[in-house]
Structure 1
Amino acid sequence: MKKLVISLLGFAIIFSSGAMTAFANEQPSFQGEVKQLVGTPYKWGGSTPQGFDCSGFVLYIFRNFDLNLPRTSEGQAKVGEHVDKDDLRVGDLVFFNTSGKGISHAGVYIGDGQFVHASSSKGVRISKLTESYYQTRYVTARRVLDQESYAKLVGVAS
């Protein structure tokens, strides 16, 4: 029940303002950082704002949470706890099979059915899980943030 209340609170905070301003008090803010990184070019092996690949982008986003995540999307899909698609909350990792050979793409769920990721064709962008390309390639999701880190991410005192 506590997880549900915290998840709902985080969701309400994110979408109550309409714009990506719900995290104005958190430095650096998750939503602000996402907004700044959208449009960053794709770079194979990249993990900096000069260019990202998908797993490098995930590593960069979570650098403030002292998480020891694997470098590849396949490895990242093995950490944390499994989350059903219907139970996703902001900060959960989402994984896709874009190569036909298993998990090959990762992103970060940002709420409202959307995730942010480094697309090999368009760089860092926000996409919907319901887009046919991603919907048919979705594999799993993982929760890697504990409650304290989640509260920090969404700007709520733990």
Structure 2
Amino acid sequence: MVVANLSKGILASLSIFTLVIAFLFTPFLHKAEASTSWGQEVTAVAELYLGNAYNWGGNTPTGFDASGYTQYVFKNSAAELNLPHSSKAQYKLGTAILQKNLLEGDLVFFKTGGENVNFVGIYLGNDKFLAVTKNKGVSIQSIHSTYWKDRYVGAKRVLKQDE
């Protein structure tokens, strides 16, 4: 009887020890596969302002213009990137990207009038981008819509890429 109780005690102790070891080392053996990219972080912040109003020269949530919106979002996301408050100046930054290679968080540029780039948005994926227009405020647009496809100039990647 003493031997049986001793064996149960040893077995219980070994079981607890095994569980503790398994619990302690499991995080090191199974790393999480999913992670948020810089582009996802930027677009998550950008989407917080869907519906916010347009305001010429604006760069705060009380009212944005196109480049003020991108400036605000990039500065206030984890990217903490300071962009100038001008679409033309933002177009001079980063690395040029072909439309077929766009990634979430890339800047997309347009000419809506005049000779120079004068409009910018933030690419979401699936040919959609976030931008501020006078009649809709912050909204989701399609690069291939009748209006935007003829005014598209190019895209720039200003975010560092994850390794």
Structure 1 residue 79 corresponds to structure 2 residue 93: yes
Structure 2: which 5+ residue stretches go unaligned?
1-33
Superposed CA offset, 1:53-111 (max 9, x none):
00000011101323232210000000000000110000000000001322010000010
For residue 30 of structure 1, report the CA deviation from its aligned partner. 4.1
Residue 95 of structure 1 corresponds to: 109
Residue 54 of structure 1 corresponds to: 66
Q: Check whether the contact 2:43–2:122 (CA below 8 A) recurs between aligned residues.
A: no
Structure label with greater radius of gyration: 2
Q: Check whether the contact 2:74–2:82 (CA below 8 A) recurs between aligned residues.
A: no
Residue 130 of structure 1 corresponds to: 144
Query: Normalising to structure 1: TM-score of the pair?
Result: 0.72
For residue 121 of structure 1, report the CA deviation from its aligned partner. 2.1
Map 1:95-114 onto structure 2 (within 5 A). Answer: 95-114=109-128
**How far apart, in 2, do the equivalents of 1:37 and 1:143 lie?**
22
Residue 45 of structure 2 corresponds to: 33
Paired residues, what number?
126
Structure 1: which 5+ residue stretches go unaligned?
1-12, 14-21, 149-157
Check 1:32–1:105 CA distance in 2 against 1; reply closer, same or farther (3 A cut): same
Instruction: Provide the secondary structure at the position in 1 that maps to 2:48.
Output: helix
**How far apart, in 2, do the equivalents of 1:137 and 1:147 lie?**
27
Instruction: Provide the secondary structure at the position in 1 that maps to 2:154.
Output: strand
Moved more, 64-73 or 131-140: 64-73
Aligned partner of 1:36: which letter? L
Check 1:44–1:91 CA distance in 2 against 1; reply closer, same or farther (3 A cut): same
Residue 9 of structure 1 corresponds to: none
The Cα RMSD (Å) is 2.2
**How far apart, in 2, do the equivalents of 1:145 and 1:132 lie?**
29
**How far apart, in 1, do the equivalents of 2:128 and 2:157 lie?**
16
For residue 33 of structure 1, report the CA deviation from its aligned partner. 3.0
For residue 38 of structure 1, report the CA deviation from its aligned partner. 0.9
Residue 5 of structure 2 corresponds to: none
Check 1:66–1:30 CA distance in 2 against 1; reply closer, same or farther (3 A cut): closer
